[in-house]
Chains A and B, each alone.
Chain A
Amino acid sequence: MLYLEDVAFDYGGHLVISSLDLRLERGEIFVLLGPSGSGKSTLLKGIAGVLPLRAGRLVWDGKPGRVGLVFQEPRLFPHLTVVENLAFGLRAQRVPKRERQRRVEAMVETLQLTGLEGRYPHQLSGGQMQRVALGRVLVLEPDLLLLDEPFSSLDTPLRVELSRWLWKMQREKGFTVLWVTHLLDEAFMVADRMGVMMKGRLLQVGKPLEVYHYPGSEQVARFFDLPNRHPRKRWLEWFPELVRKRAEGPSVNGEVPDGEEENEKENEMGWLPPELIRWQAVPAEMQGKPAAAVMQGRQVPIGFPSTRVGRVQDDGLPEARMLGIVKRVRPERSGQMVEVEAGGVTWLIAQRSTDPLPESGLPVELIIPCSEIRWYPRACRRRRGQSTAMKNQGR
């Protein structure tokens, strides 16, 4: 639908975005993630025409579409009522009065603002103001809706409710959305595709889970704060046999295939989702040994406190084990997060709320499925379109 080719924008006299390529497909929700100051808002303003294009071009498939921009703060006109705010854009574009009235009335109903038509912005709640701000743009029936962290100033339940409402409306109406946010949960809730932007550059684009699980670089991984993240060298130090055998894809006769050696060099980092690591209390005969001792292939007696004992690996390979000490157990929305000090680093293990909780200071044995390590490159590779980490995964 819209292709940004090698675009550059500056803001306040500084070049904020340089040489950025992005393609937006018709009817999709593309979520742009990134830390503050990465240029996300500048990009939106540039697409909306608020900032001039310094270099590159914006190419539409067919005739240029209508673009609407919703800012982070509502920016309602304080001297106009709800209805007058909603009608502002229609009035500016000289839509006839009757048609204007009809569209505004329909939007008031859609936004569930019936009864508030005559109120001024200072008489509305935060959520109501943001709905009016959205409605003011949606009433213009844009082809491309640009959202600049539209719900970041609202509390979580309201944010979730409005995100769901907007997602539903987008599915009904079919307009394209470029949604900027720094909140991961919001991104995952709505995105068809996701991009990560840092320091004016688009580092990675892909499907949400693909981008999250196979980050394109250490920068992206750090932005997502991916846990249990270590360089390949470190993984090899701990688990030399298991890591090498399950490097990038299925092994042949226990040897790493030739093509995969190159991937090993490129994908120098690896991380493990905390929900895949298990722990169990250290058997009595192992207590007293150094915490950093590594065990492989040991059978564990049933009955000791542990998580999901007895899970069978798909490939039949033994799981790596490592002794450690529980440092902390903290509650999370979906359960508990256990922090274990082992091998000189802190491991995070996610548990369900119904799983047994270890006590702080308890010696435990970590069961680490090396086959599940997600490998990714340390530095971003300059390729267009596809997530480079995903490309290198043998999945």
Chain B
Amino acid sequence: MRELPFILRSGGRLAEWLLLGLLALFLLLPLIPLVLWSLAGHWPWPEVWPPQWSGKSWAYLFSTTGRAWEGLLNSWLVACLTLVFNLLLGVPAARTLAMRRFRGWGWLFGLFLAPLFVPFTVTVMGMHLWMSRWPGEFLFISVAIAHVLPTLPYFIAILWYQYRLLGGRLQEAARTLGASSWQIFRWVELPLLWPGLAMGSVLVVLISLSQYITTWVASGGTLLTLPLLMFPFASSGKASLVAVYSLWYMWPVLCLYLVYLWAAGRTSGK
């Protein structure tokens, strides 16, 4: 009878691992067909396995026409600019919404979240008509500004919640110790907001990287990011090339995610 609780505890742990394993499988399983497709010369239905293997799609990706590095660089440059704009706009907005109460607070909060509900294609079209008059050097900036529309609401929502959890007591204590507003932000708020800031930043980058319509409309199709390079192949059914571009798109994202997990693991140890 004494062994029963042990068995139950072990059984519970086993169920936990089983669940985690299933979840991991659910997330990783789609990668397997992607890898197979990227190396498949020809894979007709209903074949379970590609009858023919080929590296042509990978060769195409890294050819001049494939524009692998150009697409990757453009995507990440725009994503980084989008993140910068989110930080500059989102942090003060989240802070104000969390720390202060004023008339029209609800309306303002709703306004910040509006892009999630209002079809932003229309807004982006309007922005395009205005941005198309900008000099070509501002192409990346104009696309990044367009990417702010779908990313800012998430960023503000995450950060607002983190600020609410933080409260104002520690900042008050810091102020009584003689710290300036900037010192309070750097030494108190930033380190404590780091989990939310990191998660929000990762989300902004991921959303920005995945934007197709927004990039296409904002740049008039002139700025070639990975989604823009990939989409024509997807719509014409060239699965092998889509797979190759998807894997090429995914590897830096995976690296980013691993860096985030590592950093999160380090800070949670404190």
Chain A residues within CB distance 8 Å of chain B: 45, 48-50, 67-69, 71, 73, 75, 77-79, 88-89, 91-93, 120, 136-137, 140
Chain A nearest Cβ from B141, distance in angstroms: 35
Question: B178: which of A45, A50, A75, A140 is its contact (CB, 8 Å)?
Answer: A140
A92 touching B176 in the complex, CB below 8 Å, given contacts A75-B169, A77-B188, A79-B270: no
A47 CB to closest chain B CB (Å) equals 10
A-B pairs under 8 A by CB, number: 50
Complex interface bits, B157-186 against A, C-beta within 8 A gives 1, otherwise 0: 000000000000110111111111001000
Q: Which residues of A contact B187 (CB under 8 A)?
A: 77, 88, 91-92
Do B178 and A71 touch across chains, with their CB atoms under 8 A apart? Answer: no
Measured CA separation A154–B188 after assembly (Å): 26
Q: Which residues of B contact A (CB under 8 A)?
A: 169-170, 172-180, 183, 187-188, 191-192, 270
CB-nearest residue of chain A to B177? A89
A137 touches B177 (CB 8 A): yes
A67 to B175 CA separation, bound complex (whole angstroms)? 12
Contact partners of A79 in chain B: CB under 8 A: 191-192, 270
The CA of A75 and the CA of B192, in the complex, are separated in Å by 14
- Using Cβ atoms and an 8 Å threshold, which residues of chain A touch B270? 79, 120
> Which of B177, B180, B192, B270 has most chain A Cβ within 10 Å?
B177
Inter-chain contact B176/A88, CB cutoff 8 Å: no
**A78-B192, A79-B191, A79-B192 in contact; A92/B178 too (CB < 8 A)?**
yes
B115 to chain A, nearest CB (A): 32
CB within 8 A of B179: which of A45, A49, A68, A88?
A88
Residue from the list B172, B180, B191 in contact with A92, Cβ < 8 A: B180
Most central of A45, A48, A75, A93 by chain B CB within 10 Å: A75
Task: Please report the C-alpha to C-alpha distance between residue A45 and residue B180 in the assembled complex, in whole angstroms.
Answer: 17
Q: In the complex, which residues of chain A have a beta carbon less than 8 angstroms from the beta carbon of B191?
A: 79
- 17 other A-B residue contacts (CB within 8 Å) besides A48-B176, A77-B173, A88-B174: A45-B172, A50-B175, A69-B176, A75-B169, A75-B170, A75-B172, A77-B174, A78-B192, A79-B270, A88-B179, A91-B187, A92-B174, A92-B177, A92-B179, A92-B183, A137-B176, A137-B177
Instruction: Give the one of B178, B180, B183 with max A CB within 10 A.
Output: B178
